[in-house]
Amino acid sequence: MKTYTVNEPFLDLKCGLAESPIWEQKENVLRFVDIVNKNVYRVNLDKGPSSLQKIQYDQAICVTAVLDSSDDSFLFGGKYGIGIAKKDSNQTRLLHRFWNEEERNDGKEGRMRANDGEVDSEGRFWVNTMCDPEVTSSAPDGVLFRLDKDGQLHRMITGVAGPNGMSWSKDDTKMYFTDTAESRIFEYDYDSKSGVISNKRVFLHIEEEGAGPDGHAQDEDGNLWVAVWGAWKVIKVSPQGEVLAEVRLPTRCVTAVGFAGEDIYITSEADPEPEKHPESARFHGGVFKCQIGVRGRPVSAAVVRD
C-alpha cells in the first residue's frame, strides 16, 4: 500500500474546526471554513500562504458550495439554514431555514447546525445537520436535506448522529454518505434525475478504536480520499471499498479533503485532548497539502432559485 507523509501544515492556523476545503478553479483559490470561530478563509494557491484572507461572519458557516450564477458569492449551509454569502464581505442572506416553526419553538434551531454538504451533478445542494457540540451533546437528531433547483427543501435521511461527507459514484448511480458516529460510510442506489436514494448498505467500516470517517473527496478515477478523524490520516478507498493508500499527518483529528489540481488539501480540528496528545496539538487546526499525482473530479455548481 502506498504511503504519503506530511510533516507540517501548509497553513498553521490553529482553527477550532477547519472544514469544507473547496477549490475555486477560475481564480485558483482554496476556500475553507472554521466553524467554531465563524470564519471563512480564502488563499490564492499561485501566491501561497501570504495571500490568506479571513472574513468572520455573524453565524457559523459550516459548509460552502460553488454557485452557478455568481462569481462573487457562494452558497452555504450554516447554523440556521442554507444561504448565500459574499466572498469579499461578511454579508449573508438566508434562503431556507432547516427547521419548521414547531421545531424552532422547541429549540431545535439553537441545538443544531449544518455539518457537511455537496452538490450533485444536477445542481442540487445536499447538506446535513447535526447536534451542535458547542451547545449540546450528540444525539441521533441529524437530517440530510436536499435543496432542489426549484427551491424545494426535502428531508432525505433522518435520525443520524454523525452525518458527514458525501459524494456520488463516477457513473452517478450510487451515493456515498458518512455517519461518523457509526464509523461507517454507507452506499445507496441513486437516481440522478429524481434525486431519490434507496437500498442502504455499508461501503466502508473504520474499525480503529476512537476513529471514524469524516469528510471525503473523489479523484478522477472515482476513488474516495477519506479523512479519518482520530487516526492521523487520510485513506484512499477504491469504488469496491479497498484501501489503496494512506496519507500520514502530524495531527490526529483530520476532518475533510479537497482537491486542487493534483494536490489534496486536508483540514483538521483542534485536538479535544491536547494534554493527552501534545504531539497532535502542535499542528492541530491546520490545513495540510499533499501532492498525489491525480486530479479530483470537477466540483459541481449549485443551481439555486434566488
State how far the alpha carbon of 216 is from the alpha carbons of 80, 185, 279, 303, in Å. Answer: 24, 10, 24, 22
Amino acid at 241: G
Backbone angles phi, psi at 265, to 5 degrees: -115, 130
- For residue 74, the cross-strand partners are 85
Q: Consult the annotation and say whether 39 binds a ligand.
A: no
Q: Consult the annotation and say whether 223 binds a ligand.
A: no
Name the grid cell of 203. Answer: 461501503
8 Å CB contact between 82 and 127: yes
- The residue whose grid cell reads 474499525 is 207
Closest C-alpha to 36, from 180, 134, 114 = 134
Amino acid at 220: E
Catalytic residue among 34, 116, 179, 214: 214
Q: Consult the annotation and say whether 164 binds a ligand.
A: yes
CA distance 126 to 121: 11
214 in active site:
yes
Amino acid at 68: D
Name the grid cell of 63. Answer: 459548509
Q: Consult the annotation and say whether 113 binds a ligand.
A: yes
Q: Consult the annotation and say whether 19 binds a ligand.
A: yes
Name the grid cell of 31. Answer: 476556500
> From the annotation, which residues make up the binding site?
19, 113, 115, 164, 214
For the annotated catalytic residues, the residue numbers are 214
> From the annotation, which residues make up the binding site for a divalent metal cation?
19, 164, 214
> From the annotation, which residues make up the binding site for substrate?
113, 115
